[in-house]
Structures are given as structure tokens and as C-alpha cells.
Amino acid sequence: MTTIETPRLILRPVRPEDAPEFEAFYGDPDVMEIRKYGVLGKEDAQRQLESMVAHWGTHGFGMWVVEEQATHGFCGECGLRWVEDGSEIELSYGLYPQYRGRGLATEAAQAALHFGSDVLGLERIVAFSRGDNRVSHRVLEKLGMTLEWRRETGTHGLVRYLFVPG
């Protein structure tokens, strides 16, 4: 399992012992208010963690814990995973609010995209975001991703971006 270091971050594979951090992260309304899932309870957070650990075991890649290099503090998550129907690989990321606005999401996501294209040889990576999450849309655009579609579903809508290495 691959660990990646960037100038300010360490991205390391998710482990079962990360459960307390993910329970707090997924249960934090300030984190989850802009995410697709919404706030998760302890059991749902545990299932999500188990799914991420299993993804690494099955596919050899997945979601990383994002840590700040200076403190080794848990910032959030970032990585690549198969979408639920198994048709494509998705970039996903989320950080605690205190780590936002400093370019860390872009730094982590850029590392994940490079891993996907350079190491895994992926020819396409997609990303989904809530339709009203303009900050995330700007991050995806900074990464060189292009808007494929926008759907007015649910309360917030949904967008899909595409990255094609080149």
C-alpha cells in the first residue's frame, strides 16, 4: 500500500485503527454539510471505514488519510475509488474546516490524480460534488478537470467532473 508525501502533507492508506478519527470526521456537521453523504452516525462511519480498508485490499489503491506533515494531525481524507456501480474510478476528498482555504485539498487531490495516471495508468478519473459546493468545483477546475454534467437532483444538485491525463 502506497504512502505519498507532498510538500505539506502525508497521504497514507486508511487503516482499521483510524476508526475514532473517521467517526469524529464523518460525524462533524461542519465537515459533512458540504459533502454528498451528510452527517454519518458511528455505525455508518464504521461501515464506510471498513469499505475503504477493503477497497485497498481488493484493488491495491483507495482512500488515504490526509495528515499535516508538521503535526501529523488528521486533516481528512483523499483518494481514488471505484464508484458504486464499478464502472469508473472516482477522486474523492474532504478536509476539516480548519484545513480549508490553504490549498491543501488541491495539493492532496493533485497527488491522488498523479498516482492514478502515473502509477495506475488510468485514462479517466471522475469526481462528483454537490451542485452548490462552489469551493469544491474550483478545486476540481484547478486540477484540470472539466465539468461533464450538472443535475438538479435533491436539495443541492450534483455535478460530475472528468480528468483525462494528457
DSSP string of 138-162, one letter each residue: HHHHHTT-EEEEEE--TTT-EEEEE
Helix 19-27 to helix 42-59 angle, to the nearest 10 degrees?
120
The structure's pTM equals: 0.93
pLDDT one digit per residue (tens) for the chain, 166 residues: 799 999 999 999 999 999 999 999 999 988 887 776 678 999 999 999 999 999 999 999 999 999 999 999 999 999 999 998 888 999 999 999 999 999 999 999 999 999 999 999 999 999 999 888 899 999 999 999 999 999 987 778 899 999 998 7
Beta pairing partners, 126:
90, 162
Distance CA 8, CA 42 (A): 30
Q: Which fold has domain 4-124?
A: Aminopeptidase (3.40.630)
Q: Please give the Cα distance from 163 to 166 (Å, whole number).
A: 9
Q: Quick one: CA dihedral 42, 48, 49, 50, positive or negative? A: positive
Helix (H, G, I), strand (E, B) or coil at 25: helix
